[in-house]
């Protein structure tokens, strides 16, 4: 535990090197994935995997502009992930990206075509309708209640949940 606390304290020092970083957050989580697999032939296997996740958020601010940037790294390989990717390195990267975003010009107003990576599309779809489709919310009265198989959005949108 001491090693993990020190890792966060060291990473926190990185933010102090940037005058325009006005706010920040660091995070470290561990998931222990414990599985027991058996079959009818007598095989019984137990496996535990530690999955650490580190996160760094930096919020840059200058005059009237504010620019956040967040990055997270995770891998099912144990604490040695942090030997390869120190949290301080992640904090530095998040800070530099927030500062870069601070310098960016605003996009022109109006409609435009965009290219979005698959991860972002999944997040956007989940935030747009995913929470509303969760069983407890549907039962409580979500706008999706009773709409299975029906269109619930603009004709310009096509979304199919078919794993």
Q: Does residue 6 sit in the same domain as residue 72?
A: yes
State mean pLDDT over 28-35. 91
Higher pLDDT, 153 or 72: 72
For 45-61, write each residue's pLDDT tens digit: 999 988 999 999 999 99
Spatial separation of the C-alpha atoms in residues 163 and 158, rounded to whole Å: 15
- 97 is a domain residue: yes
**Tell me, what's the pLDDT at 161?**
66
Q: Does residue 65 sit in the same domain as residue 123?
A: no
Q: Does residue 67 sit in the same domain as residue 135?
A: no
- 109 is a domain residue: no
Q: How many domains does the chain have?
A: 2
Q: Does residue 139 sit in the same domain as residue 76?
A: no
Q: Does residue 134 sit in the same domain as residue 87?
A: no
Q: CA separation (Å) from 14 to 1, 11, 46, 156?
A: 21, 6, 40, 45
Q: Does residue 99 sit in the same domain as residue 119?
A: no
- 108 is a domain residue: no
For 33-92, write each residue's pLDDT tens digit: 999 999 999 999 999 988 999 999 999 999 999 999 999 998 888 888 888 888 999 999
Pairing status of strand 21-38 against strand 65-74:
unpaired
Among candidate residues 82, 103, 124, the one where a domain is terminated = 103
Q: Does residue 76 sit in the same domain as residue 119?
A: no
Q: Does residue 144 sit in the same domain as residue 74?
A: no
């Amino acid at each position: 535990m001491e090693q993990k606390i020190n890792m966060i304290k060291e990473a926190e020092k990185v933010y102090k090197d940037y005058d325009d970083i006005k706010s920040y957050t660091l995070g470290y989580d561990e998931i222990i994935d414990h599985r027991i697999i058996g079959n009818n032939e007598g095989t019984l296997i137990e496996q535990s995997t530690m999955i650490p996740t580190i996160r760094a958020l930096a919020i840059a601010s200058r005059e009237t502009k504010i620019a956040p940037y967040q990055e997270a790294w995770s891998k099912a390989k144990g604490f040695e992930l942090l030997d390869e990717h120190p949290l301080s390195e992640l904090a530095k990267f998040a800070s530099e990206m927030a500062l870069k975003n601070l310098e960016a010009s605003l996009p022109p107003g109006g409609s435009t075509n965009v290219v979005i990576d698959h991860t972002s599309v999944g997040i956007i779809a989940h935030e747009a309708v995913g929470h509303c489709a969760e069983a407890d919310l549907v039962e409580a009265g979500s706008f999706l209640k009773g709409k299975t198989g029906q269109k619930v959005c603009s004709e310009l949108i096509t979304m199919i949940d078919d794993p």
